[in-house]
Structure 1
Amino acid sequence: MDYSLTIIVPLYNEEENLHRVEEKMKEYISQASIKCQVLFVNDGSKDNSEKLMIDICERNPEFNYISFEKNCGLSAAIKAGFDYSTTNLTGYIDSDLQTDPFDFELLLSEIKNHDLVNGFRHERKDSGIKNMSSIVANTVRNWFTHDGMDDTGCPLKILRTDYAKRIPMFSGLHRFLPAMIMLQGGRIKQVPIKHFPRIAGTPKFGLRNRLFKPLMDCFAYLWMKKNYINYNVEKRS
């Protein structure tokens, strides 16, 4: 079957969520406006996630997986998803399902004229501390990147795969995907989407990696922006 969209689902110790992920993603795929497939990226889970993931893929032909030998972090999982995507479009959703797969339709309606469409959780259902730390982190990133995004960390995105594969990923760069598309001369847009409380599993990010590390990553981004190589071929034989 020829698919048009690969949806990356990174997971790390998400055994409590995986059956729900299977149900929700199957429901969306059956009604999506384009043909979709799911690519699980198991980031070295230490619980029963890998077995459950393999079982899901064995009974659903639209589901595939790759599994790391050890935990490498979210940026590495997203990078691997980009590397293994075989479709023209690549999406991304978190395995906690705090965002709705059906909102991919909102992003798809805009991707024709853009190279990345980013979700914007305008009514977030997280704790006050988590919401405030994200607001501060996004404000600081905007100072550095000027990408105009209010929610770069939103776990619902669609990118053109050729742009995604050219992103030189480093740890933490998943927070800078819109800015990295801009460095390639790409067009970006954000779209308001729904957001839900986490109902199972444990959050993987705390105050330190929501505020302090992202600040350091901003300086890494500035170095990359200064030294980024971008070119357009005018002619070839």
Structure 2
Amino acid sequence: MIKKHSLSVILPAYNEEQVIGNTILDVWRVLQQWRLDAEIIVVNDGSADRTGTIVAELARDLPQLRLVTHPTNQGYGAALVSGFQAATKELTFFMDSDGQFDIRELQQFFGAIERYDAVIGYRLERQDSAMRRLNAWGWKCLIGWFLDIHVRDIDCAFKLLHTEFLRTHPLETRGAMINAELLYKLKQAGYSYHEIGVLHLPRHGGQATGAKLSVILRAFRELIIYTRKWRQEKQAFVSSQPELPLPRQA
């Protein structure tokens, strides 16, 4: 089942020098075991540490590894979009590069991708602080209210989808709103997705940025701006459709 597919693995990275090397090598070893036609694309989103240098050094020995560099930090969504644009394989998978996910769990996604347009993970026993879990619950409620998207774990960075969808439905947001947009556009396009639980491991290095005030404010701003934009586009589309003639009275 696995060998039927070619796969692009996207790893967004920001100041992950402590873990990025181990994450890449672990992903590479698993892909080698599966004998997949695969590529690993690391997007270095303006890291101020040695993240980019470490990836560049590994790329000299791993032909499947590619480095995409943002000169300055542009945000999580921007990093994912750059990775999606660089993907060349049939399927695209992304996960965080901080070592909190095990790519071996992707194996259970391949069967589901035969029946669904996307397969999205949700974190089992989430290894985050109580405050971050509370923030995630509040964000989930907002996304349900604004966009009518209802899944277990919107921002779980463990998702597999067909690359063609990303080509035909380019994403517009560039911050932490990106996962919500992805699910919204899947739903609006009539695509199906399936949820699968994945283990969430303790962080062994680096620092999470999702709880930073600037990241949260940007997510709220994008949610408001793009919800309004997408509703206007949807209304304009509906208004442009020709009215069907009323049936004749007998």
Q: Mark yes or no: TM-score above 0.5.
A: yes
RMSD over aligned CA atoms reads 2.1
Kindly provide the amino acid, as one letter, of the partner of residue 194 in structure 2. Answer: K
**Gapped regions of structure 2 (runs ≥ 5):** 238-250
- Tell me, yes or no, if the aligned pair for 1:21 and 1:95 is still in contact at 8 Å: yes
* 1:209 positional shift: 5.5
Partner of 1:153: 155
Q: 1:188 aligns with which of 169, 190, 193?
A: 193
Partner of 2:26: 24
Q: 1:170 aligns with which of 164, 169, 173?
A: 173
Q: What is the count of residue pairs matched by the alignment?
A: 229
SS at match of 1:181: helix
* 1:213 positional shift: 4.1
- Tell me, yes or no, if the aligned pair for 2:209 and 2:215 is still in contact at 8 Å: no
Larger radius of gyration: 2
- Tell me, yes or no, if the aligned pair for 1:32 and 1:105 is still in contact at 8 Å: no
Tell me the distance in 1 between the aligned counterparts of 2:5 and 2:160. 15
* 1:141 positional shift: 0.8
Judging changes above 3 Å, is the alpha-carbon distance between structure 1 residues 3 and 111 closer, same or farther for their aligned structure 2 residues? closer
Structure 1 residue 141 corresponds to structure 2 residue 143: yes
Structure 1 residue 220 corresponds to structure 2 residue 211: no
Q: 2:105 aligns with which of 103, 106, 110?
A: 103
**Gapped regions of structure 1 (runs ≥ 5):** 231-237
For residues 191-222 of structure 1, the C-alpha deviation after alignment (integer angstroms, 9 at most, x for no partner) is 11110111111111215357554343332332
Judging changes above 3 Å, is the alpha-carbon distance between structure 1 residues 88 and 194 closer, same or farther for their aligned structure 2 residues? same
Partner of 2:67: 65
For residues 30-64 of structure 1, the C-alpha deviation after alignment (integer angstroms, 9 at most, x for no partner) is 23374322101111111111110101111111211
Deviates more, 1:201-210 or 1:20-29: 201-210
Q: Could you state the TM-score of these two structures normalised by the residue count of structure 1?
A: 0.88
Tell me the distance in 1 between the aligned counterparts of 2:87 and 2:212. 32
Tell me the distance in 2 between the aligned counterparts of 1:210 and 1:47. 20
Partner of 2:126: 124
* 1:147 positional shift: 2.5
* 1:163 positional shift: 1.0
Tell me the distance in 2 between the aligned counterparts of 1:11 and 1:139. 27
Deviates more, 1:220-229 or 1:130-139: 220-229
- Tell me, yes or no, if the aligned pair for 2:123 and 2:197 is still in contact at 8 Å: yes
- Tell me, yes or no, if the aligned pair for 1:15 and 1:49 is still in contact at 8 Å: yes
SS at match of 1:5: strand
Structure 1 residue 84 corresponds to structure 2 residue 86: yes
Tell me the distance in 1 between the aligned counterparts of 2:218 and 2:107. 32
- Tell me, yes or no, if the aligned pair for 1:140 and 1:215 is still in contact at 8 Å: no
Kindly provide the amino acid, as one letter, of the partner of residue 45 in structure 2. Answer: D
